[in-house]
Each structure stands twice: as C-alpha cells, then as structure tokens.
Amino acid sequence: MSDLNLEIKQLIIESLNLEDLTPADIDNDAPLFGDIGLALDSIDALELAMAVQRRFGLRIVDSKETRRVMASVSALAAYIESR
C-alpha cells in the first residue's frame, strides 16, 4: 500500500468519522460512493472534498470532476499526485 493511498484512507475514516472500519478494509479501487464498496452519500462527498482541500490544499471545483476524482482511493491519489 502506497503512503498516499494509506493517507487518503485515514483521511476518509477520520474526516467522515466512520466506525468499525480500518484502512485495510478499504480497497484501493472500490467505489467510494453508490450502493457497493464504502457506500458514502452525497453529504460525505462534500465533507470529503472539504477535507481534501484542507489536507492537500486542492480545490475540487466542478461537481462532475468531484465524482470522477473521488471515484476511488486510487483515483483520488492519482488526482492529488497530478497536481
């Protein structure tokens, strides 16, 4: 597990205050939103976008972009690395 992936997983768990969950439970490529995978909801999406902004200083402005960028842990890591 890369350090960035791990950091993102910890950020997800902490910023969304998720219980019964460790970074090892989150698959790098599993969808974060929707019915499978972590199944986060639209309010989580906003909270997570804000947490990413605070931690990495990256603003995800466009909502379509948000959905693509935060599709999975790997997608988010790729986005952060590209900036």
Partner 1 sequence: MGGLVELLAGRPENTWAICCENSLHFATSLFALWLAGKVPVFPKNYQVGTLQRIRESVDAVLRDTPALEQFPSIDVTQVKGAALRGAQISSTAHAIFFTSGSTAEPKQVIKTAGQIQAELSVLDGLWGDAIRGSLVVSSVPCRHFYGNVFGLLLPLVSGGIIDTSLWDPISMIRSCGGPRRVTWVSSPATLGRLPDVVAVESLKPGLKLVFSAGGPLPIAVPEEFRRALDFVPTEIYGSTETGAIAWRRQPCDGLWTVLPEVEVEQADEGCIRVRSPFLTDGNWLPLGDRIQLRQQNRFELVGRVDRFVKIEERLLSLPDMEARLRENSWLLDAVVTTVDLPQPRRTIIAAAIILNDQGRDELKRQGRRGFAKSLQKHLAQWFEPVLLPRRWRYPEKFPVNELGKLPADALQRLFLDGAEQENS
By CB under 8 A, name the binding residues for partner 1.
15-21, 25, 35, 39, 41-43, 46-47, 49-50, 61-63, 66
Q: Are 16 and 47 in contact (CB under 8 A)?
A: yes
- Is the Cβ of residue 50 or residue 78 nearer to partner 1 in the bound state? 50
- Is the Cβ of residue 3 or residue 26 nearer to partner 1 in the bound state? 26
User: Shortest Cβ distance from residue 31 to partner 1 (Å)?
Assistant: 13
What is the Cα–Cα distance from 62 to 81, expressed in whole angstroms? 18
User: Shortest Cβ distance from residue 71 to partner 1 (Å)?
Assistant: 16
- Is the Cβ of residue 43 or residue 81 nearer to partner 1 in the bound state? 43
DSSP state of 25: G
Q: Are 31 and 73 in contact (CB under 8 A)?
A: no
Q: Are 49 and 66 in contact (CB under 8 A)?
A: yes
